[in-house]
Structure 1
Amino acid sequence: MKFKTIPVIIGTLSCVLVGGAAFAAVSTFAGPHEDGTAVTSIGMRVTPTGQQTSLGDLPLNSAISPDGKRLAVTNNGQGTQSLQLVDLADHEVDQTISYKSPESLYMGLAWSPDGTKLYASAAANSKIRTYSYSGGKLAEGAPIQLPTTTPAGKALNLFPAGLAITPDGKRLVVADQLADAVSVVDLSTGNVSTTPAGHRPLSVTVSPDGTTAFVTNQGASDLSAVDITGAEPKVSRTVTVGLHPNKSVLSKDGRTLYVANGDDDTVSVVDTAAGTSSSVSVAPEKGAPVGTNPTGLALDEAGHRLFVSNSGNNDVAVVDLAQNAVAGVVPVGWYPSSLAFSAGTLHVTNAKGLGAGPNNGPGHPNPESTAPAAENQYSGSMIVGTLSSFSVPEGGQLQKASEQVKNNNRPDTAGGNIIPRQPGQESPIKHLIYVVKENRTYDQVLGSLGKGNGDPSLNLFGDESAPNMRALSKKFTTIDNFYADAEVSANGWNWVASANSNPYAEQMWPANYSGRKAPYPSEGNAPEIAAQQPDNTYVWQRLAKAGVSFRNYGFYVSNTAGTFNAADPVLDAQTDHNYHGYDLNCPDSAGSFAPLKPGCGTPRIEEWAKDFQSQVTSGTVPTVQFVRLPNDHTQATRVGAPTPKAYVADNDYALGKLVDTVSHSSAWKDTAIFVTEDDAQNGPDHVDAHRTLALAISPYTQTGKVDSTFYSTASMVRTIGLIAGIGPLTQFDAFATPMNASFTAKPDNTPYTALKPSYDMTTVNGANAPMAPQVATQDTATEDKIDEQLFNKSIWQSVNGADSKMPEPQHSVIGSGSGSSSQPAAKDPDG
């Protein structure tokens, strides 16, 4: 049985190019639509061109078989990973080979020159999977095992990424991403030779004569030319390219290598003989902030056109190589990740397809339960990738396609009397407090609020455990159409702090979350994580460069001998080193649970209040404050830990105290407090799994109205930047709608008094708590090293009873397959 392709409702290119005005009738909510289009969590419109085929979870790479009949696709998401074969004649998936953790796949794919074998990297397993290919089917054989220890016996995690085979079919070249190395495998003997290369090598391309492998170093701004002619490979030359290079493609004559620079919004054009390079911009316009995030490349058969998948702009750029300039762009799915060109047709894998949609069905995430949520209900694994296949338009059709992309990604620069239209304009708001919490959906806390678009059946935390969040939403503004721009915390904290999550982070977090041996790609100082230059990525760095004062309480810090320090010196210089960072064993507020371990010090909100009162007294309240309140994350039903409701109550009381303290101070009259979650992965929502909590608290928002404007994390970052006087960090916050509709020109300075939750915040989980044994096996020492699906179900049962059934999560921001007429039928895994 084959997968069916998505019905081609949008059909031909001319049908897709509907123009910006046609979207007036489209829902203002995020998610997929029945006509085969979608709206991302950021608010960008997705109008994919051509034939659409549904794939697996997070397709990151593809490769056409030498006979041109099949496209191999590697799906590298958080849940079940898979290798798929797509029949290019009928655009249907012919075969799916699935792998559950700890078994893995990653980005590397390479066909043998004769087309009888396929190789795929299995990063977490330190091996290369081998398949024989016959009769249109793959059969897996014995893998090629890579070294797992150094010659000195030290553990080694090569984490094989990109693959390439020499033209004679005798050697396989492997980019060892986490070992900063390159390996060459003799395919006749299985012998593996490894040599050091650049930082975080990703993609491999081999010269036509088989003597040189060009390896892009994703964690740097260069590529390594590796001599593979001898018994041991060796780097013969390092060539400078743009920041964080991704995939590459070589001209047929081997003289020119094209490299997609993910955080430079350029393609490098490398003269392979001279070792020099120039660049072509793929940004939407001159002077645009970073955010195009090019990932994949392909050349047409004649070598006249280069195609570039722009993951940030949801398009493919068509580069005229005679002019070395972009001739136009074509709209595709959400987050295009790789390209393959054959017989006049371009095939584009879209890692996030049409998005997720609602996640409130059977098996949805539940913070009061520890049973795993269904993969098609968890925000980290429910999104279905897609393949867009089409003949590349030319001339007037290409210009129409370009106009469609412009309409899809047109920024909203609206401002008002309170939020400036441009940085530097006056605002009555002089002080900003940016509060970030952990992992709740809108419906979990505000579903039964009685106003706004909520589903009471999904509300877990009511007036007993979240009285302040609910009262503040009623008293100020109920913001009911706000989305996290991330699926999980690992990319969520990138969005919170930098309005972007770069290709490295998007590739790595699924393997990290699923126990597949990848590092946590966030909240560090590693150069590969920074979505721009490491000293110019984060909002605090931009504030410092603009001379805007700020103070940090818990953002991007780690515990160093009892004090909390940030790796970034710019942030660390303005950090309260006594404010406790992420640690669920320590309370957010006083009067809640007793610390679960020594060394917690002053509860978070009490430490913040002490510092803030000192600033008020001395007249030194900074323009921007970053405040982290993590405990609504909870430890689910872990025995001896606070119950989920106790954790949420502790967190909620801390937020109430913060607003109480500010509103009773002299700073209240010109302060705005913005509150959100880093992501919404720990629960269901009837609109979309990305929809989350947001508050704008100020004398200028004390209206009691509902604001259903489409906002996202990037909107909050943009609003803070406009008021603080800095420009957008990336294309994403430049695009996002500022939160002006939540504000009014007439202030109401009435102070707020914190509400103490009625739920006993000292309540702990007993040995009979739902799913306690399963929860006990989970690591909660750092963010999200847990089975989130397990936690969600345990939390649901903690609140609603051990026999209660958790509804399924919904993902309409970025399309789930269930319940949508535009999605394919399930495929028989046996093909």
Structure 2
Amino acid sequence: MVLRRRNRRRVVTVLAGTAALATGAAVALAAAGGQGPAGPRSDGTAVTPVGYQVTPVGHQALLGDLPLNAVLSPDKSVLLVSNAGQGTQSLQVVDPADSEVVQTIEYKRPQAVFTGLAFGPDGKRAYASGGGREIIHTYDVDDGRLNETAPIRLPTKNPEGRAVNMFPAGIAVTPDGKRLVVADRLADAATVVNLVDGSMSTVAVGHAPYAVALAEGGRTAFVTNQGGNTVSVLDIGGAKPEKETSIRVGTHPNAVVADTAQNTLYVADGDSDEVNVVDVATRKVRRTISLAPYRHAPVGSNPDALALSEDGRRLYVANAGNNDIAVIDLKNSRTAGLIPTAWYPTSVVPLGGRLYVTNAKGLGAGPNDGPGHPNPTSTTPQSPDQYSGSMMKGTLSTIALDGGRRQLRHWTRTVIANNGFREGNSPRAVGAVVPRRVGEHTPIKHVIYVVKENRTYDQEFGSLGEGNGDASLNLFGENSAPNARALQRRFVTLDNFYADAEVSAQGWNWTVAANSNPYSEEGWPANYSGRHHSYPSENGDPAIAPNKDPEHSYIWQRLDDKGVSFRNYGFYVSTDASGAAVAQDPVLNAETDHAFGPFNLSCPDSAGTFTARTKACGGPRIEEWKKEFARYVKDGALPAFEMVRLPNDHTAGTKPGMPTPQVYVADNDWALGQLVDTVSHSKFWKSTAIFVTEDDAQNGPDHVDAHRTISQVISPYTETGRVDSTFYSTASMLRTMELLLGLRPMTQFDAYATPMVNSFTGEPDTAPYTALKPSIDLSARNTVDSPMAGVSAKQNLTEEDQIDERTFNEAIWKSVRGAGSRMPEPRHDLYGAVPNDQAKDLDDD
């Protein structure tokens, strides 16, 4: 039985021909139910994993992997684009006359580019930041083509002689062409390079500097500090740069643009959804422009790019989170309208009555179930076009602005409909198990949130016999995942659930904060591809906290604010010198079980599967959880919310000496079965709901979309045995738990997401569940003769996702299906997802 519901939207008010972006509180909720799967559509549109519709306007052309920036040459004949994704990075030269890519310069890892791009004032030289390579690429520009010359090498040691990772980001060239200013992202510094003699000086700025703008004739540099809430003002007119002052702005400022005619600076605040208007002369914020899409909206617009119109009357803002360009009328500092883009716009360039917009994620992923797809047991390199972290291709939208106010009003209505910026009512479950509004009654008093690692729906449930599965992709069946499969059949089968992330670095941010902010989105590809960026997740760095207040960004912080009890088992922890699991956030650490181990594939999830290989494990994870649960049963004081991390379905591929992929999955499955068994045989069962999902779906193929993943809701109120094909995502699960716990949404995404009410029934069945021990040989180990054992032996398995996913997934596939089997190649549907009149544009690129 497939449950469906009618679309429900929120109300918007239009005032005096402009978008008065919605006046009501957005209590509710998505139009996603019953809309089909996520991914590209054959008409050139798409649906993101969170459920937003993507309907880009204008001419669409294909770019590379994760375009982050675009700049125009001084003579306006060249549009230069940087693609800084996980796979092959590149610079592309685009002819703005026809939006054709005329040159691509590839940088295969460890070679790199990042977001910084600049031309010299005469247009004969171009520069691009080299990210973790600690260089600035330089080019001669001749007849619309680039010829790379010797790079500028930045310092690799600080004055004390210690190694430093500068990781150059934004750059700017002074009007006289003699100096280059570089934002050193991971060194909390800025470097001024003398382009005449090659000398350079570095000065400290704020945390995680990102972009640079020049003013006052090039004597002053303004550097945005993306990891904080300031802009550093540097005097660069002397022999060495000097920090003059800092300007306090919004949270996580990124893009910055100077209007030299008005002596004004515009700063985009990526996590407070604002643009600050700064008076250059006084170094003060003159006013703030809100980018909230409706009144009292939580954050999530995530502005990450700015551009002034050629006449200086309008400011264009790329809202990466909302897939639109906000058009700001600078006369009254108000939003005049919104322009729909593809997924995750990252730069906007106005020229000749048109906008050129780069879209980092294009039209999304689609299926990844062909040869070369991600596989935990593989020998052939996984195709980059089949890995969720690199298979999405960026696009360039060329948008004509000749339709006037009427066209802008129409586009605004489209954006509002795409993102559900309207007021309505959430669907109510039978018996009102899931409250429709915060504070309403629910019989659920305890929520347990279990997060696992990286599996797709088809990998475990493809052969389930119910729901939308592909049995040919099922790697882990009744012998290695009996509990997960039995729980799906007995409670509710969820076959249209998506991870809102491509990889774990984003996924963990989504699972606990309902967003992954621009800092993380821009940084994770360099981390995953060995290009020397730090891991932008699961730590206390305020730069990664995806909300207006970094100290109130995560669900445990919101619970603490409300006085709701919680307990942490493995979320956002690492091991200290004594072997204890500790969290950097003091709020989380105070409620952490320090004996419950963090991600470590040498530590078992359950007892009786394999022996711990390190003293830091402290015993099987589920046994530690059961010990504390028994105490709570005795005391009668189970916390309202428990976070339980069970990571071993990640597997170690075919690394010799480690458990086989099937054993790891069985270990993980046995732990989940015991958790449900323990709760269901306790006095807390009748008032508990257990939510289970993966942080992302990067380690396997799926015939629907590379983001589709495992999801389970286990409670006496979900024991229905039905299939619920409502469109849900990570944000939906968070929203459901928030409603049960009395929390308001953290971001626009969980505010929008459909609560999982269709999985519940008002008539509980309190029959307990008895765990099933996997029948597979739990002593099985990989050997040197296992498929791709040599490749797997070189993988870094000490932390999540520090591996080569391309070979890791194939190793898992061959371990299960045999050394001679061929891993299906994931299909990327972008080419088939554009109208015929656009297909040539993509093919020609």
Identify the TM-score tier after normalising by the shorter chain: over 0.9
Any idea what SS the aligned residue of 1:651 has?
helix
CA–CA distance in 1 between the matches of 2:834 and 2:278?
A: 45
Shift of 1:301: 1.3
Match status 1:566 vs 2:579: no
- Per the alignment, residue 13 of structure 2 pairs with none
The question of whether the paired residues in 1 share the 8 Å contact of 2:87 and 2:384 is answered with yes
- Per the alignment, residue 223 of structure 1 pairs with 231
- Per the alignment, residue 306 of structure 2 pairs with 297
In the TM superposition, 1:88-167 aligns within 5 A as 88-167=96-175
Query: Structure 1 residues 224 and 646 mapped into 2: Cα distance closer, same or farther (>3 Å)?
Result: same
The question of whether the paired residues in 2 share the 8 Å contact of 1:167 and 1:208 is answered with no
Opposite residue 325 of structure 2, the aligned amino acid is V
% identity of equivalent residues: 58
Query: Structure 1 residues 172 and 633 mapped into 2: Cα distance closer, same or farther (>3 Å)?
Result: same
CA–CA distance in 2 between the matches of 1:414 and 1:263?
A: 30
- Per the alignment, residue 670 of structure 1 pairs with 687
Opposite residue 492 of structure 2, the aligned amino acid is T
Shift of 1:549: 1.0
- Per the alignment, residue 272 of structure 1 pairs with 280
- Per the alignment, residue 375 of structure 2 pairs with 366
The question of whether the paired residues in 2 share the 8 Å contact of 1:102 and 1:516 is answered with yes
1:171-225 CA distance string (max 9 Å, x none): 1111111111111111121212111111111001111511111110101101011
Any idea what SS the aligned residue of 2:552 has?
coil
Match status 1:314 vs 2:317: no
The question of whether the paired residues in 1 share the 8 Å contact of 2:44 and 2:834 is answered with no
Opposite residue 756 of structure 1, the aligned amino acid is K
CA–CA distance in 1 between the matches of 2:321 and 2:204?
A: 31
Shift of 1:780: 0.6
1:455-493 CA distance string (max 9 Å, x none): 001000000100000010011111000000000000100
Query: Structure 1 residues 761 and 819 mapped into 2: Cα distance closer, same or farther (>3 Å)?
Result: farther
Shift of 1:593: 0.7
CA–CA distance in 2 between the matches of 1:535 and 1:564?
A: 21
Any idea what SS the aligned residue of 2:385 has?
coil
CA–CA distance in 1 between the matches of 2:513 and 2:842?
A: 39
Opposite residue 78 of structure 1, the aligned amino acid is Q
1:740-767 CA distance string (max 9 Å, x none): 1111111111111100101111211011
Any idea what SS the aligned residue of 1:359 has?
coil
Opposite residue 149 of structure 1, the aligned amino acid is K
- Per the alignment, residue 206 of structure 2 pairs with 198
CA–CA distance in 1 between the matches of 2:263 and 2:67?
A: 30
The question of whether the paired residues in 2 share the 8 Å contact of 1:376 and 1:816 is answered with no
CA root-mean-square deviation: 1.7
Opposite residue 58 of structure 2, the aligned amino acid is G
**Segment drifting more, 800-809 vs 636-645:** 800-809
Opposite residue 386 of structure 2, the aligned amino acid is Q
Opposite residue 428 of structure 1, the aligned amino acid is P
Any idea what SS the aligned residue of 1:143 has?
strand
CA–CA distance in 1 between the matches of 2:827 and 2:448?
A: 31
- Per the alignment, residue 288 of structure 1 pairs with 297
The question of whether the paired residues in 1 share the 8 Å contact of 2:344 and 2:360 is answered with yes
Any idea what SS the aligned residue of 2:406 has?
helix
- Per the alignment, residue 492 of structure 2 pairs with 477
Opposite residue 341 of structure 1, the aligned amino acid is P
2:627 aligned residue (596, 610, 613): 610
2:221 aligned residue (209, 213, 223): 213
Shift of 1:27: 4.9
**Alignment coverage as a number of residue pairs:** 805
- Per the alignment, residue 426 of structure 2 pairs with 413
- Per the alignment, residue 600 of structure 1 pairs with 617
CA–CA distance in 1 between the matches of 2:682 and 2:242?
A: 65
- Per the alignment, residue 7 of structure 1 pairs with none
CA–CA distance in 2 between the matches of 1:346 and 1:426?
A: 50
CA–CA distance in 2 between the matches of 1:72 and 1:151?
A: 35
- Per the alignment, residue 344 of structure 1 pairs with 353
Shift of 1:597: 2.2
In the TM superposition, 1:329-340 aligns within 5 A as 329-340=338-349
CA–CA distance in 2 between the matches of 1:558 and 1:252?
A: 48
Match status 1:439 vs 2:448: no
Shift of 1:252: 3.2
CA–CA distance in 2 between the matches of 1:599 and 1:297?
A: 48
2:707 aligned residue (683, 690, 694): 690
- Per the alignment, residue 556 of structure 1 pairs with 572
Match status 1:582 vs 2:602: no
Any idea what SS the aligned residue of 2:384 has?
coil
The question of whether the paired residues in 1 share the 8 Å contact of 2:33 and 2:754 is answered with no
Opposite residue 415 of structure 2, the aligned amino acid is V
1:623 aligned residue (619, 640, 643): 640
1:740 aligned residue (730, 734, 757): 757
- Per the alignment, residue 817 of structure 2 pairs with 800
- Per the alignment, residue 388 of structure 2 pairs with 379
Any idea what SS the aligned residue of 1:141 has?
strand
The question of whether the paired residues in 2 share the 8 Å contact of 1:525 and 1:534 is answered with no
Any idea what SS the aligned residue of 2:455 has?
coil
In the TM superposition, 1:493-532 aligns within 5 A as 493-532=508-547
CA–CA distance in 2 between the matches of 1:769 and 1:205?
A: 55
**Segment drifting more, 134-143 vs 386-395:** 386-395
Query: Structure 1 residues 420 and 708 mapped into 2: Cα distance closer, same or farther (>3 Å)?
Result: same
The question of whether the paired residues in 2 share the 8 Å contact of 1:594 and 1:762 is answered with no
Any idea what SS the aligned residue of 1:178 has?
coil
- Per the alignment, residue 482 of structure 2 pairs with 467
The question of whether the paired residues in 1 share the 8 Å contact of 2:62 and 2:841 is answered with no
The question of whether the paired residues in 2 share the 8 Å contact of 1:371 and 1:792 is answered with no
Opposite residue 414 of structure 1, the aligned amino acid is P
CA–CA distance in 2 between the matches of 1:25 and 1:478?
A: 15
CA–CA distance in 1 between the matches of 2:786 and 2:262?
A: 64
Opposite residue 665 of structure 1, the aligned amino acid is S
1:352-395 CA distance string (max 9 Å, x none): 11111110112100011264310000000010111111133532
1:233 aligned residue (221, 237, 241): 241
- Per the alignment, residue 784 of structure 1 pairs with 801
Shift of 1:151: 3.3
CA–CA distance in 2 between the matches of 1:442 and 1:201?
A: 39
The question of whether the paired residues in 1 share the 8 Å contact of 2:62 and 2:393 is answered with yes
Match status 1:397 vs 2:371: no
1:18-39 CA distance string (max 9 Å, x none): xxxxx99995110111111100
1:658-685 CA distance string (max 9 Å, x none): 0000111111111110000000000000
Query: Structure 1 residues 556 and 691 mapped into 2: Cα distance closer, same or farther (>3 Å)?
Result: same
Any idea what SS the aligned residue of 2:538 has?
coil
- Per the alignment, residue 44 of structure 1 pairs with 52
Opposite residue 478 of structure 1, the aligned amino acid is T
Match status 1:323 vs 2:323: no
Query: Structure 1 residues 519 and 824 mapped into 2: Cα distance closer, same or farther (>3 Å)?
Result: farther
The question of whether the paired residues in 2 share the 8 Å contact of 1:420 and 1:722 is answered with yes
The question of whether the paired residues in 1 share the 8 Å contact of 2:495 and 2:725 is answered with yes
- Per the alignment, residue 424 of structure 1 pairs with 439
Which consecutive unaligned segments of at least 5 residues does structure 2 have? 1-30
Shift of 1:826: 9.9
Any idea what SS the aligned residue of 1:478 has?
strand
- Per the alignment, residue 753 of structure 1 pairs with 770
CA–CA distance in 2 between the matches of 1:228 and 1:34?
A: 52
Give TM-score scaled by structure 2 length.
0.93
Shift of 1:421: 0.9
Shift of 1:508: 0.6
CA–CA distance in 1 between the matches of 2:428 and 2:168?
A: 47
CA–CA distance in 2 between the matches of 1:147 and 1:24?
A: 50
Query: Structure 1 residues 538 and 810 mapped into 2: Cα distance closer, same or farther (>3 Å)?
Result: farther
Any idea what SS the aligned residue of 1:142 has?
strand
Opposite residue 357 of structure 1, the aligned amino acid is G
Shift of 1:790: 1.2
CA–CA distance in 2 between the matches of 1:790 and 1:655?
A: 28
Query: Structure 1 residues 35 and 826 mapped into 2: Cα distance closer, same or farther (>3 Å)?
Result: closer
The question of whether the paired residues in 2 share the 8 Å contact of 1:660 and 1:752 is answered with yes
2:746 aligned residue (726, 729, 743): 729
